[in-house]
Chain A
Amino acid sequence: MHVTSSVRTPLVTGGKTYADVTEDICRQVEGKPTREWTIAFAISFIVLIYGTACVFWTWWEGLGVWGLNKTVGWAWDITNFVWWVGIGHAGTLISAILLLFRMKYRTSINRAAEAMTIFAVLCAASFILMHMGRPWLAYWALPLPNTFGSLWVNFNSPLVWDVFAISTYFTVSLVFWYMGLVPDLATIRDRATNKVSRYIYGTLSLGWNGGAKTWARYEYISLILAGISTPLVLSVHTIVSFDFATSVIPGWHTTIFPPYFVAGAIFSGFAMVQNLMLITRVVFKLEDYITFEHIESMNKIITLTGSIVGVAYITEFFIAWYSGVEYEGYAFLNRMTGPYWWAYWAMMTCNVISPQLFWSRRIRRSIVWTFVLSVVVNIGMWFERFVIIVTSLHRDYLPSSWAMFSPTIFDISDYIFSFGLFFTLFLLFAKFLPVINMFEVKAIIRSSSEKLPASVSGVAKGERVANPTFNKNAE
């Protein structure tokens, strides 16, 4: 029994049948790569190769190739790490929280968002490895007794918590994403026309056949996964914020950091999803599935989370004054008016002011505005981390150790590396896996389609229908 209020806007347009959904989305997976895709992939891959070379040089030479100094010991590396982890939050959030809240617009965007999460977390992890300087000793971060005795990792250290948080987040997100893919992979398997893809998609789909009992359990575990992923999303960025907030450095030690980091992460993640989906939608001709309603809903969340972040900025600022702590007050004044004033104001403009433009219905339903503002938001969120990290560090308690940070070519190239990695992986995903969750879209067609066709099932196309090998009529 589906009852949908008439005040709701449809989420699928074009009078799609179930067969249409399959066809529209599988087409990209089964067909030859398009020209746009090939060009984009070639560019990303070249960037990745260049970036990889730079990362190897960073490791070969040592972290001296970065612009770090004694005062500013963390700069672009951790900025990039936090930025990517933040972006990585929207995917699991869209899937998990919106699933719990039964927001139907989630169905068209969750797959790509989850994939984005995984690739973004990989990019984030690459900066963790990079800033270790000697990545072959990365296992020192694991709780293994050392060779000289039984000295263990320090579980009091937020950096150790990070190891657990990021690896758990990556694993659980991967499982969540993959479990979501299984039924759709089975669809592709059953449509496959050659042995190789039947074998590959057959293996990946784990023998899925869509029985009612399997579906019931599947829905149940999806809910539980969503239920535990939601606090997980919160915990991961909370622990990232603990990296700073457990210290006593002015500008870092403030109790609002955990929820404020989480809000910021969701904010930047949604912006990145917007960017990716707006391109995918056009290139793959998915305008009927990613409608203006989707874009508008996501813009509303961007405005909401941007405003939460804005409230947190103001709270920090206010309490820095209210507390009467001299150093805290100075740290914030220095952010605003010190040598890094431009970073602070870039952050404020991009994160707090620009999303307010979405209060205008015309702007939040405009593709161009949405795309531009989403880029702006992500620039702002990068600056936020830069402001927190570099401006808090560069003026020490001792004025004699005050310093500035200037990035070298390797700071920049290692950042570019992560873009190469991210887009290469995302493009591979977009080509070889269904970018929209077919089964979930089919499940909302009846309640949320603009107009229902006479037969909602539609006519399946392809060889297996024209020439069924094992069906014969009864009687």
Chain B
Amino acid sequence: MAVQHNDNAKFLVGIYDDDDVVLKAVKEVKNAGVRIHEVYSPFPIHGLDVALGHPRTRIGIAAFLFGLTGFLCMVALTVYTMGYDWPMIIGGKDPYSLPAYIPVMFEFTVLFTALGMVGTFLVSNGLGPTVKPLMFDLRSTDNKFVMAIDLNKNKLSETEIATVLRTSGAAEVNVKQF
């Protein structure tokens, strides 16, 4: 996610007023041959990631594996403690009475899935308490939709891209240097 901090990182920033407009604009800007760095919005816009061509997330696989790990951990713990290390007959059941351990196995599965998945999400998106976000416009967490275009990664000139952005419905077009 993070943009490399070199001295001449220079962005054109299109500010949109409307979520429906920005969704259409993404297609227009892309059709005009402009590479979009990212679009920032105050709330998720349905279909935006598809329009931008972001690949589908594979975080679900990670979640499944974490869940499986949690499940196996608890299977191991109950097998070891109740069935092997100190077997006891409780309530007339076998020392290892599987149905009675299903509740804890379930809890551990959920716990590992949740924590593991959220951890993966934070790491893969570069989020954390000490992270300084790159904000192209502070209003993008309030009411504006912000399309950022990395000038160094585009062949078109600044003026040409600015025109594309304006035609696609941007209310403002700004320059942002880091």
Chain B binds chain A: yes
Are B104 and A160 in contact (CB-based, < 8 A)?
Answer: yes
Kindly supply a per-residue 1/0 record for chain B positions 121-132, scoring 1 wherever the CB is within 8 Å of any chain A CB and 0 otherwise: 110111111111
Q: How far is the CA of A164 from the CA of B115 in the complex (A)?
A: 15
Contacts of A156 in B (CB 8 A): 82, 90-91, 93, 97, 100
Please tell me if the beta carbons of B39 and A224 are within 8 angstroms of each other in the complex. no
- Of A77-85, A123-131, A225-233, the segment with at least 4 beta carbons within 8 Å of chain B is A225-233
Which of these binds chain B: A7-15, A32-40, A206-214, A403-411? Answer: A206-214
Does A443 have its Cβ within 8 Å of any Cβ on chain B? yes
Q: Which residue of A lies closest to B162 (CB)?
A: A474
A228-B71 Cα distance, complex, nearest whole Å: 14
Q: Is A458 an interface residue (CB 8 A)?
A: yes
Cβ < 8 Å to A, chain B residues 120-178:
121-122, 124-135, 137-144, 158-159, 162, 172-176
- Give CA–CA (A269, B82) in the complex, Å: 36
Q: Which of chain B's residues have a CB closer than 8 A to the CB of A18? A: 42, 142-143
When the two chains form their complex, are residues B132 and A207 in contact, meaning their CB atoms are under 8 A apart?
yes
Query: A203 on the interface (CB 8 Å rule)?
Result: yes
Q: What residues on A are CB-neighbors of B42 within 8 Å?
A: 18, 22, 183, 187, 210, 438-439, 442
The size of the chain B interface, using a CB distance under 8 A, is: 79
Most buried by B among A155, A187, A191: A155
Q: Which residue of the partner chain, among B1, B12, B17, contacts A211 with CB atoms under 8 Å? A: B1
Q: Which residues of A contact B68 (CB under 8 A)?
A: none
Q: Using CB atoms, name the residue of chain A closest to B20.
A: A446
With A214-B1, A439-B43, A455-B18 given, name 6 new contacts (CB 8 A): A155-B78, A156-B91, A190-B139, A224-B60, A225-B114, A238-B103
Residues of chain A having any CB pair with chain B under 8 Å: 17-19, 22, 143, 145, 149-156, 158, 160-161, 164-165, 168, 171-172, 175-176, 179, 182-183, 186-187, 189-191, 202-221, 224-225, 228-229, 231-232, 235, 238-239, 242, 438-440, 442-443, 446, 455-460, 464-465, 468, 470-475
- Residues of B participating in the A interface, judged by any CB pair closer than 8 Å: 1, 12-13, 17-20, 38-45, 48-49, 52, 54, 57, 59-60, 63, 67, 77-78, 81-82, 85-86, 88, 90-91, 93, 97, 100-101, 103-104, 106-108, 110-111, 113-115, 117-118, 121-122, 124-135, 137-144, 158-159, 162, 172-176
